[in-house]
Structure 1
Amino acid sequence: MEPRIIPTGEATAILPAGDHHSPVKVFGTEKIRDTFDDLCLQQAINSRCAPGVTDVVLNPDAHCGYGAPIGCVLASPTHIYPGPVGFDIKCSMSLLQTDLPEDAVIDEGVRRKLIHAICRRIPTGMGKGARDVPKGRRIDEKIGSAAMTEGASSGVLASLGIPVDWADRCEDAFHRGHDDSVDALKQRLYDLRQGKTFRRFRETVQQLGSLGGGNHFGECEIVEVNNDDAARETADAFGLRNGCVAFLSHCGSRGIGHRLASGQFRVLEEKFQQWGIPLPGNDKQLVYAPLGSDEADSYIDDMAMGANFATVNHLLINALVLEAFAEVIPGTKGKLVYFISHNIARNEIVNNRESWVHRKGATRAFPAGHPALRRTPFEHTGHPILLPGNPQAGSAVMVASKGAKESLYSVNHGAGRMLGRRRAIKELDQKHVDDSFAAADILTNCRRYPKDEAPAAYKDFEEVLQSVKQADLATEVARLRARFVIKDSADADD
């Protein structure tokens, strides 16, 4: 029987998962729900029926992923699942607000200089690191190890020239080991370095301060705060400056996270074969470990190290971007607005019970007054939600509504793919893609913009945002309008 979505409202629905399981909660307008193919829905059902899982949420950007859909949330009080975190552990968004007015980047020549200055500091592409750019930060083994085990500690940030107070603007500035200690991570890293995982550790940690490839990017933005009192007050609390230049980054834990995740998938798949345990949905990508087991402890430690690396990576990128702006436009000042993940498992309270909430391509959305925001800068507003759309449709800064409780305090992580990469490369016209950027006066570092990352490869961002608003999950605070984009491309300008 084909999976069938049952609407419950304009932007809400349920997906039945069988007689013995509560349904998957679905958020999205009818138009958005029509974008969910059968594989995506079956993955959601498989995830809901997996051992120990109590809740699954499908967000408007959902599409098929690795075991679980990208754009889903999965909660379990008893098990940990690598699939609903993914290979790019703690892939995240961050936003840097500068004091520059929009006029400062009108001139195309200035924007070209900024692209050049940033690309001389921040490499793009698979495997690229500081050694591949002339002004990147060189990372020694000691700092690399500390970044993985301590996260954004004051010592790590100071050693890299990153403002120490930026740690206060992170969803999580650091992650600890399975026993809530740093020592567990130090021991785990030591053990991994004795084996094959990090045989070239010195070279691998050079990826701190790099963007990577695929859908990762850096964008120069103009902030447009919504014209209403609530949005303006929230924007002020966030540190957003209407009509000023900002920089939005999307990247994760790079090769470090991929190696850690790959190792975990391999070990758990071998364990399932050894024990003869049935796989959820007969899908090896939904392997799991019961909490408290050695396998779960190892995964939590590895995930924490990958997440710590991703955190420091983002903060270093923002420091290097600010440095580049100041080189081209002397005197430029900037502050971090927020750094937030969309590929992570966190220990949170779900239905009055501690659970591991796995967000795979999903963003945390805690509203004002949420207990986890006490004694943070966002206690009275809710924290910023950074939602990338595409360079031509813009991106959004949102804040959670009380209704976000229904989605496990989560929203989508962006627009979500409409076309797979192979299909986009095959079907989209290169000249049309490049001409559309020229028509919008959005510069890029690419001689030819990657077709699999073209705006047409993604869902209608306005419809996605409408889904979030109609479902009462979050409200829009500001829109970000791109002025230039930095991507990985074989045809990137040097």
Structure 2
Amino acid sequence: MSAQSAPVRLIPTGEATAMLPTATTKPITVIGTQAIRETFDEVCLQQAINSMQAPGVTDVILNPDAHLGYGAPVGCVMISPTHIYPGPVGVDIKCSMSLLQLDLPAEAVDDRKTRRALISAICQRTPTGAGKGQRNVTKSRSVNRTLGKQLVVEGASQSVCEQLGIPSEWAEYCEDAFHVGHDESQSALEARLDVLLEQRHMSNFSDKMSQLGSYGGGNHFGECEVVSVDDSNLAREVADVFGLRDNHVAFLSHCGSRGFGHNLASGQFKTLQAKFDRWGIPLPGRDRELVYAPLGTSEANDYLDDMALGANFATVNHLMINALVLEAFQEVIPGTTGRLVYFISHNIAKKEIVDSQPAWVHRKGATRAYPAGHHALRGTPFANSGHPILLPGNPRDGSAVMVADAGASKSRFSVNHGAGRVLGRRQAKRTLNQSTIDSELDQHDILSNCRQYPMDEAPAAYKDFEEVLRSVKTANLASEVARLKARFVIKDSSKADD
């Protein structure tokens, strides 16, 4: 994969910043303290270099959570005004975070029986695991083919929300409630969907639509939280704008575009790789996952349309999950109300203004971070505060809600999407102890739907969350608004129970 043989060296530029030199282009911006920088292995750094040296790329930023990914590292930002890259979006198009604030005080979930009842009620509505969908749960919502075609084209439109029982006002609290095609129209998506539905890899379209309102597997989760707002005046003011309630219950979700997005991304990789092979085009770093398409070509247009279709599914998937979670809470604790705090992506490419010019900002395991006053927030509820940044850590150490600072300009208005893996999945299963994992969560009074918590998702498989947050704050990218303490976790229990 590497075009360079010499060891990769990071050059510190501050307590929580560094640069990664390349042979032929400008250096890569690195965010992370010394302790965090030591978690970047040679393959991760070489992927960053390959990405920076790829055609049309003007910037690469490596975030504290960075680790091995598809072509580009997970936890990076890659910018190009001329090319689009599927790898730095990945196979889970618009994998995202969302946070639902409930009106329940923290003590409402103190009782373990209540939490067990909530876990059961949620799992009766939101299935977990590969291939699982609404037909696998007893209190499902029907998503037929016609509605599926509508929602992947329209995203969270009022009509789609009404048909799925999603509060239509929640669309206002999405980073993007809908996505359009390569020519900025919905008609391009309608035309592209018609083409896709004739292709073999989309023969299971109806089945994939039935996965709406489900979590999937891997690192996806739903987590019941207690909100603890930071004690500073600024944090309290921002928390009020966000709708966060101190010492109250909230629900954090991590999921994406499920099997539909995977089908779209896999199809694009195969198509582009076949063309690179046929035309003999050199691959950046000889990495087949760094295929690309110049903007304006039919290949780029097809990818942008496919990405938008997958992103629209992911948006509605999250909103439906939140509606189902609220319904579950209302079943167990009648009278519960809730509102969406925010829904924000960390696997997407978006056209933004970079250095006064339009460019495609690829965020792979990276989260947008616009501070107060940013032009893109005009007309939104967060114009004067900056939008919420949702950073999952792990159940033991908690998660965080942050808001961008002016210093986020140095990272092209992006931050990490979480803690980031420090152990690969196989390594975690080889080296970690199941009883230790389960007893640790029990000691913290954290329940789960799994008889045994997945070893490859254990807190010890991830980087030190406090050090990750310290990197973000020390680099002046964002400030902490609130911490989220887990009370129970919904994960893919299928593998854990094998």
Deviation at 1:490, TM superposition (A): 2.2
Cα displacement string for residues 198-237 of structure 1 (whole angstroms, at most 9, x for unaligned residues): 2122211000000000000000000000001000000000
The 4+ residue runs of structure 1 with deviation greater than 2 A are 490-493
Cα displacement string for residues 450-479 of structure 1 (whole angstroms, at most 9, x for unaligned residues): 000000000000000000000000000000
- Is it true that 1:113 corresponds to 2:117 in the alignment? yes
Partner SS, residue 54 of structure 2 = coil
Q: Name the residue aligned to 1:419.
A: 423
Question: Does the 8 Å CA contact 1:91/1:341 hold for their aligned counterparts?
Answer: yes
2: CA distance, partners of 1:439 / 1:203:
40
- Is it true that 1:354 corresponds to 2:330 in the alignment? no
Among residues 11, 21, 24, which one is paired with 2:25 in the alignment? 21
Among residues 122, 126, 143, which one is paired with 1:122 in the alignment? 126
For 1:58-73, list aligned pairs within 5 A: 58-73=62-77
Q: Name the residue aligned to 1:7.
A: 12
For 1:74-85, list aligned pairs within 5 A: 74-85=78-89
Q: Name the residue aligned to 1:206.
A: 210
TM-score by length of 1: 0.99
2: CA distance, partners of 1:78 / 1:206:
36
Among residues 264, 269, 277, which one is paired with 2:281 in the alignment? 277
Deviation at 1:147, TM superposition (A): 1.1
Question: Does the 8 Å CA contact 1:448/1:491 hold for their aligned counterparts?
Answer: no
Question: Does the 8 Å CA contact 2:225/2:486 hold for their aligned counterparts?
Answer: yes
Question: Does the 8 Å CA contact 1:446/1:491 hold for their aligned counterparts?
Answer: no
RMSD over aligned CA atoms reads 0.7
TM-score by length of 2: 0.98
1:109 corresponds to which letter in structure 2?
A: K
Partner SS, residue 382 of structure 2 = coil
Deviation at 1:491, TM superposition (A): 6.3
Partner SS, residue 260 of structure 1 = helix
Among residues 303, 309, 323, which one is paired with 1:305 in the alignment? 309
2: CA distance, partners of 1:409 / 1:65:
21
2: CA distance, partners of 1:480 / 1:69:
27
Among residues 78, 99, 103, which one is paired with 2:103 in the alignment? 99
- Is it true that 1:186 corresponds to 2:182 in the alignment? no
Partner SS, residue 14 of structure 2 = coil
Question: Does the 8 Å CA contact 2:371/2:386 hold for their aligned counterparts?
Answer: yes
- Is it true that 1:232 corresponds to 2:239 in the alignment? no
Q: Name the residue aligned to 1:387.
A: 391
Partner SS, residue 89 of structure 1 = coil
Question: Does the 8 Å CA contact 1:447/1:491 hold for their aligned counterparts?
Answer: no
Partner SS, residue 481 of structure 1 = strand
Percent identity at matched positions?
A: 67
Question: Does the 8 Å CA contact 1:445/1:492 hold for their aligned counterparts?
Answer: no
Q: Name the residue aligned to 2:140.
A: 136
- The number of equivalent residue pairs is 492
Q: Name the residue aligned to 1:440.
A: 444
Question: Does the 8 Å CA contact 2:81/2:358 hold for their aligned counterparts?
Answer: yes
2: CA distance, partners of 1:465 / 1:188:
41
Deviation at 1:146, TM superposition (A): 1.1
Q: Name the residue aligned to 2:61.
A: 57
2: CA distance, partners of 1:255 / 1:249:
18
2: CA distance, partners of 1:185 / 1:226:
43
Cα displacement string for residues 338-369 of structure 1 (whole angstroms, at most 9, x for unaligned residues): 00000000000111110000000000000000
Question: Does the 8 Å CA contact 2:205/2:260 hold for their aligned counterparts?
Answer: no
2: CA distance, partners of 1:190 / 1:67:
30
1:16 corresponds to which letter in structure 2?
A: P
2: CA distance, partners of 1:199 / 1:285:
25
Deviation at 1:197, TM superposition (A): 2.2
